[in-house]
Structure 1
């Protein structure tokens, strides 16, 4: 199959490498022309410059010629205009459908569950409370309206892998709240394995989500992780009550997957975040 990956960054680039190794044709996108050219030369696959906030569909034609497009575009972490992001993404999905792209996979976030507490499954109704969560909730609904049984959504818990781990940002901070809340994390290699399985098995018309099986409290886990990484542990205020914990057992069963990193404690080895990606299947 010819797979487009819209957004080849921290997750999209190793996903592209994995799919190429599995025998697929891959077209990727980056916002900057020079980055797109460098990526194309490095991986030996087409890369087109494309910015969903200012789309140039003429130069993005190779993406529009794909059988499947994985939409992996984040709004940005700081000062994001989530209304503009939502509008741009829904217009992009409309354009993919009009161009004849058969299937769309939207990479979303478990923040669409908002402040729910306790066990959260794929069937739990969304209840987004943040601007980011509400934007993703609206985009998911648009995928369903436009693509129906030809589109799927994959909601991801907090992402870890390579150099990325929350403890690097939490190190040394004090007075943090929510220390008793469960941790919901997923390793990049398990995300890549899941996306690959969805494509190979043609798992369309579904909402999936991913998180590791084990959910220690934030205060326990992030303090441990910081010490393992040689960082100053964060300090949390005493807190009561529990947050949500993401139960991905249905997703894993439907895709026939076993997580490589079923526990967040496995995601750090020898003081470093694990960075291995799954072997091609």
Structure 2
């Protein structure tokens, strides 16, 4: 199949490498022309310049010829214009439909569940509270309206992989809230395996979410992780609520997946925090 990966960054680039290795023809995108050219040479495949906020569909014509497009475009910084992001993403989905792209996989976030407490499953109604969460909630709804049974949403918990770990940003901070709340994390390798399974199994018309199976408290886990990484542990205040924990057991069962990193502790304890190899197909 010809798979378009819109957003070949921290997640999209290794995903492209994995799908190329699986025998698919991959078309990727980067916002800057120079970056697109460099990555095209690195991956030995077509990578076109494309910015969803200022789309040039003539330059991105190869993307519109894909059978499947994976939309992996983050909103950006915390103070981004999420209304503009929402509108641009919805317009992009419309353009893909007009071009005849058969299937779309939208990479979303578990922030659409907002401040819900307790167990969250794939059937839990969304309750976004942040600007980012509300934007993703709207884009998901638009995808379902536009693509119906030909579109799928994958909501991801907090992402870890390569050099990326929340402890590097939390180290030494004091007075953090929610110390008793559960951690919801997922490793990039497991995300790549799940996306690959959706494509290979033609799992369209679904809403999935992905998270490690173990949920230690923030104060316990991030304190431990900081010490393991040689950093100063953060200090948390006790939480006023129980927080939410993402139960991805239904997604894993439907896709026939066993997480490589079912526990956040494995992501460091096994010396694999820098491992980017996707789980076996």
Short-chain TM bin: over 0.9
Q: Which residue of 1 aligns with 2:153?
A: 153
CA distance in 2, matches of 1:77, 1:280: 33
Are 1:178 and 2:208 an aligned pair? no
Q: How does 1:241-252 map to 2 (within 5 A)?
A: 241-252=241-252
User: How far is the alpha carbon of 1:237 from its aligned partner?
Assistant: 1.3
CA distance in 2, matches of 1:237, 1:12: 36
Q: Which residue of 2 aligns with 1:78?
A: 78
CA distance in 2, matches of 1:167, 1:272: 15
User: How far is the alpha carbon of 1:279 from its aligned partner?
Assistant: 5.2
SS in 1 for 2:265: helix
Return the TM-score normalized by structure 1: 0.98
Cα deviation, 1:79-134, whole Å, max 9, x if unaligned, reads 20000000000000000000000000000000000000000000000000000000
User: How far is the alpha carbon of 1:278 from its aligned partner?
Assistant: 1.7
CA distance in 2, matches of 1:87, 1:218: 34
Return the TM-score normalized by structure 2: 0.98
SS in 2 for 1:26: strand
Q: Which residue of 2 aligns with 1:27?
A: 27
Q: Which residue of 1 aligns with 2:106?
A: 106
Cα deviation, 1:162-187, whole Å, max 9, x if unaligned, reads 00000000000000010000000000
User: How far is the alpha carbon of 1:77 from its aligned partner?
Assistant: 2.3
Post-superposition, which runs of at least 4 consecutive aligned residues in structure 1 deviate over 3 A? 269-272
Q: Which residue of 2 aligns with 1:193?
A: 193
Are 1:3 and 2:12 an aligned pair? no
Q: Which runs of 5+ in 1 are unaligned?
A: none
SS in 2 for 1:98: helix
Q: Which residue of 2 aligns with 1:61?
A: 61
CA distance in 2, matches of 1:270, 1:245: 23
CA distance in 2, matches of 1:87, 1:178: 32
Q: Which residue of 2 aligns with 1:239?
A: 239
Is the contact made by 2:185 and 2:211 (CA closer than 8 Å) also made in structure 1?
yes
User: How far is the alpha carbon of 1:272 from its aligned partner?
Assistant: 6.6
CA distance in 1, matches of 2:41, 2:233: 41
Q: Which residue of 2 aligns with 1:125?
A: 125
Are 1:50 and 2:50 an aligned pair? yes
CA distance in 1, matches of 2:125, 2:32: 37
User: How far is the alpha carbon of 1:259 from its aligned partner?
Assistant: 0.2
CA distance in 2, matches of 1:16, 1:276: 12
CA distance in 2, matches of 1:196, 1:109: 18
Is the contact made by 1:8 and 1:28 (CA closer than 8 Å) also made in structure 2?
yes
User: How far is the alpha carbon of 1:275 from its aligned partner?
Assistant: 1.8
Is the contact made by 2:266 and 2:272 (CA closer than 8 Å) also made in structure 1?
no
Is the contact made by 1:190 and 1:278 (CA closer than 8 Å) also made in structure 2?
yes
User: How far is the alpha carbon of 1:78 from its aligned partner?
Assistant: 3.0
Q: Which runs of 5+ in 2 are unaligned?
A: none
